[in-house]
Structure 1
Amino acid sequence: MLDLPDTDTLYAALLARDPAWEGRALVGVTTTGIFCRLTCPARKPLPRNCRWFASADAAQAAGFRPCRRCHPLGATAEGEPLVRDLLARLDERPDHRWSEADLLALGHDPSTVRRAFKRHFGQSFLDMSRAARLRGGMASLVKGSTMIDAQLEAGFDSASGFRAAFARLFGHPPHRMRQGSDLLADWIDTPLGGMIAIADDQTLHLLEFIDRKALPEGLRRLSAHAGGRVGLGRTPVHDRTEAQLAAYFAGNAPCLDVPVTLHGTPFQQQVWRALQAIPAGRTRSYVQLATAIGRPTAIRAVARANATNRIALVVPCHRVIGADGTLTGYAGGLWRKEKLIAIERGYA
């Protein structure tokens, strides 16, 4: 309770199912021996039957079991059955052209699905399904397939739809990405979703989750920097990055030792280098990060530089949290930030 507010505040948050307390507080119910998120849809206990915890580890150490409705051991998104169900179905059928009719057939209201996925991931389920199909098309083009073969494998009905999806992502149509290029882009699968990796033969230039909203703009900037010479393909740096990501998620590699080229101002690069100095399993506030680079009053500038990082995980911007200990926004999705910090607790 040392890190938690008074019980009246916590109980009011429990009654309101206040999402602001996700990742900050849990409630144990003495009459059932179960602990829950404050957003749990279950019937609310009486105040005298509540015990409050700052972490799942503390609740389990006190003898409470995790709730099977709100799944307090997982990330926030995993506490919603609708989200868990559809993510599992997307994993099973990544090439399927999902539609609102499919959602209705499964008994889901499309507007409810849209709100739930927007809340957790910043995009709709149908947007995520299109990204999954685009991944298939990218893989085909990297292997040298013809445009029509890649289009069909990606599940797009028309060549124009396929080209438009690529153009939104990279800033130019896919046929240009098969010509001679200085930088090569390829897809890397991870337990938290697909990532686009762009590298040359020596260093990694970009590593982003495919569903990040700012990804198209980042790709266009990098393409402009390289004179438009960003193509589809793979280098030894891609292989090294993929192998190290696999080891990281398996709990075997706290440090992603991949050489990088940082595209930014001297100040941004100073912030990004400071991020790389934060050990896995540790976090820093924006104030601490600003102090570490000798710019204690540049807190907002540090936050902006953190948000514009284009090499996720290798430059670990997810290790920066709010001064009060809350998990502040993460461009890759707050649910991923929860997952990454949970993974890194094992490295502490």
Structure 2
Amino acid sequence: MLRIQICIANCTANTNMSNTLFPTELPTTQEMYKALCERDSEYEGIFIVGVKTTGIFCRPTCPAKKPLEKNVSFYGNVRDALAAGFRPCKRCRPMEAFGTAPEWLANLLSQIEEFPDRRWKDHDLRELGLEPARVRRWFKAQHGMTFHCYQRTRRLGRAIGQIQVDNQSATSAQLNSGYESASGFRDAFKKLFENVPPSRARGDSTGSAESAKPMYVNRVLTELGPMVCAANEQGLHLLEFADRRMLETQIKRVNKLTRCTFVIGENEFHRSIQGELQAWFAGKLEKFQTPIVLKGTTFQEQVWRQLLQIRYGESRSYEQIAKNLENPKAMRAVGKANGDNRFAIVVPCHRVIRADGSLSGYGGGVWRKQWMLNHEQRSLKTN
């Protein structure tokens, strides 16, 4: 099986993180300066740094040469840095969601979408004024693969979709997806789906081709950083922040539960959840409607359904959820099931806090949990 590793850089938060509901303080100056010098991605969204000698402000992970500690000021958000008179850095682009494609790559990405079956060569990139090595580095950083590998994976994913959804023959899908030979298409398909030939991609009455069904995976950019979204014809199976340490584990779990293989691409559910996330971040959506596929142990699914019942802007404790399940001693198990949730934001595990009202751990980072709770509270007051 071809293993598509989702290597997407960490997140940024471009919004005001201060709120009276859950007041926060910045780390110490020494801690933030150390994080800046080490380009520590775990501090993305925690602080913004203003450089007095240049008048610009940057992310903690900015690749620019590091200034002396005496020449920097730290801020909790972009707004405060702007108010202090700093302008955004052109290298790390702190005003944009991290993962946004740079301007120099926009034309290429546009043409890839317009002509998905084109086989791009290095000389084609040079004709666009692009250095192939630079393009390779960007795709390697954003997608965990080179540009040419990305092209092959997308073409194969499109071909599989044509076979399964459009009911095309394997030969037609091969020709429509830019594969010049039938043997090349078959070899690529077998490598991706563990020796299942293309002719079996549609499946049969016995379900023997279940392992040949693709799980389309793509990125969704948000104000809290990029998220990885995986969906098949049933609905969403995964929506998680790209920098979560358990992401690879969650991908393996989805693979084991569905017997599908991850392929770069998107379907209607990707587009649906992207629109709903934009509305949620704008404070205009309280309940998600995009279908999700909850698969886990009986207890996990019971906990996740309890999470779905927590209303927007409210919170519950682990103890309350355990009592609702008529198992008051299961608080620790509730916490573990909460951490195993594969649908960040949509299945609102961020609304679960300790009994004393304090925040507990969160797979996407406690700072994100705090931001989301604050965001929902602010939206309720505004609307």
Instruction: Report the TM-score when normalising by structure 1.
Output: 0.63
Matching residue within 226, 231, 235 for 1:196 = 231
User: Which residue is 2:88 aligned to?
Assistant: 66
Q: Does the 8 A contact of 1:255 with 1:280 survive in 2? A: yes
Q: Secondary structure at the match of 2:167?
A: coil
Q: Secondary structure at the match of 1:27?
A: strand
**What is the CA distance between 1:69 and its match in structure 2?**
1.1
**What is the CA distance between 1:63 and its match in structure 2?**
4.0
User: Which residue is 1:151 aligned to?
Assistant: 174
1:96-154 residue CA offsets vs partner (Å, 9 max, x unmatched): 446789889943548x956x656655555555433322332134222222212212333
**What is the CA distance between 1:254 and its match in structure 2?**
4.3
What runs of 5+ residues in structure 2 fail to find an aligned partner? 1-17, 19-23, 222-227, 261-266, 323-329, 354-358
Greater gyration radius: 2
Q: Secondary structure at the match of 1:297?
A: helix
Q: Secondary structure at the match of 1:155?
A: coil
User: Which residue is 2:276 aligned to?
Assistant: 248
Aligned pair 1:9/2:31, yes or no? yes
Alignment of 1:1-348 (within 5 A): 3-78=25-100, 89-93=108-112, 94-97=116-119, 106-109=130-133, 113=136, 121=143, 125-141=147-163, 142-157=165-180, 158-164=184-190, 167=193, 172-179=196-203, 192=221, 195-199=230-234, 204=235, 206=237, 215=251, 218-219=254-255, 221-222=257-258, 241=269, 244-245=272-273, 247-251=275-279, 253-258=285-290, 260-277=292-309, 290-291=318-319, 293-294=321-322, 295-298=330-333, 301-302=336-337, 305-306=340-341, 309=342, 314-315=346-347, 323=360, 327-328=364-365
Distance 1:316 1:90, change over 3 A: farther
Number of aligned pairs?
305
Counterpart residue identity of residue 189, structure 2: R
Q: Which moved more, 1:120-129 or 1:57-66?
A: 120-129
- Aligned CA RMSD, in angstroms, stands at 4.9
Q: Secondary structure at the match of 2:33?
A: helix
Instruction: Report the TM-score when normalising by structure 2.
Output: 0.59
Q: Secondary structure at the match of 1:143?
A: coil
Q: Which moved more, 1:85-94 or 1:178-187?
A: 178-187
User: Which residue is 1:228 aligned to?
Assistant: none
User: Which residue is 1:229 aligned to?
Assistant: none
Q: Does the 8 A contact of 1:167 with 1:174 survive in 2? A: no
Q: Percent identity?
A: 31
Counterpart residue identity of residue 256, structure 1: F
Q: Does the 8 A contact of 1:197 with 1:207 survive in 2? A: no
Distance 1:25 1:133 in 2: 40
Counterpart residue identity of residue 263, structure 1: K
Distance 1:260 1:245, change over 3 A: closer
